[in-house]
């Protein structure tokens, strides 16, 4: 199990007795999410079994089925949990930055995002590559997650437009931006360069500024 599991970090500390009663179940689910992530990263989604998952987190099959109907439900839950935890980390990291400082918000958001992926290459592989082969429900959920990232850039574009720095960016361009960043990261993961992802932050910043309409970045982008 990953020593710095995003799933375990995402379990909120209880603030009252009701929360304390719910925490053990949340911790078990986090352990299962972590276990299926490690198993899928090693064996692939199709080859991973419930037995692989229960063995990794040392629980019984009965306990697994108390929380999930099947492997697919568990995997989709892990993907959604990891995605929402990542988005929440980005929101927390950018919250202190003034709305007018939209370029700084962009840089910090990208640093947070690729930092999480670089810290846990197995999680990065599962959420960006293995999700693509997990069936129709997985693809629908992935599209919802990509829309959430698109919405981040949509709000950032609105802030930049309000400041007069750029004109509003069409949604199709923003969705293309999210897809391009994901595609570049996938390429790095397939080349076993997850730990080097933070080096791509300047490239991603320049790519975003170009999509936003800052043409002065085009030449620099081509040199990355």
Tens of pLDDT along 76-132? 999 999 999 999 999 999 999 998 899 999 999 999 999 999 999 999 999 999 999
Is 221's pLDDT higher than 80?
no
pLDDT recorded at residue 223: 40
Tell me the C-alpha distance between 148 and 88, whole Å.
11
Residue 19 included in any domain: yes
CA distance 32 to 38: 10
The whole-number pLDDT of residue 23 equals 64
* 1 located within any domain: no
Q: How many domains does the chain have?
A: 1
The CB-side HSE value for 24 (13 A sphere, CA atoms) comes to: 4
Enclosing domain of residue 163: 6-222
For the chain, state the CA radius of gyration.
Answer: 19
Q: What share of the chain in percent tops pLDDT 70?
A: 87
Provide the pLDDT for residue 166.
77
CATH number of residue 190's parent domain = 1.10.357.10
Asked, for residue 139, whether it belongs to a domain, the answer is yes
> pLDDT at position 20, please?
52
What distance in Å separates the CA atoms of residue 220 and residue 215, rounded to the nearest whole number? 10
């Amino acid at each position: 199990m990953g020593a710095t599991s995003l799933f375990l970090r995402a379990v909120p500390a209880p603030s009252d007795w009701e929360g304390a009663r719910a925490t053990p179940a949340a911790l078990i689910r986090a352990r299962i999410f972590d276990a299926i992530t490690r198993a899928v990263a090693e064996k692939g989604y199709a080859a991973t079994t419930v037995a692989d998952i229960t063995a990794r987190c040392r629980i019984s099959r009965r306990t697994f089925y108390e929380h999930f109907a099947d492997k697919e439900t568990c995997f989709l839950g892990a993907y959604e949990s990891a995605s929402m935890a990542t988005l929440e980390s980005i929101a927390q990291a950018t919250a202190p930055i003034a709305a007018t400082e939209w370029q700084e918000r962009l840089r910090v958001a990208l640093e947070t995002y690729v930092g999480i992926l670089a810290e846990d290459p197995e999680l990065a592989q599962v959420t960006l590559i293995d999700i693509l082969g997990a069936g129709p429900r997985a693809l629908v959920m992935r599209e919802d997650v990509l829309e959430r990232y698109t919405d981040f850039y949509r709000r950032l574009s609105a802030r930049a437009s309000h400041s007069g720095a750029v004109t509003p960016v069409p949604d199709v361009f923003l969705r293309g931006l999210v897809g391009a960043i994901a595609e570049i990261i996938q390429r790095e993961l397939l080349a076993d360069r997850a730990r080097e992802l933070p080096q791509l932050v300047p490239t991603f910043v320049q790519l975003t500024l170009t999509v936003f309409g800052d043409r002065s970045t085009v030449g620099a982008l081509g040199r990355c």
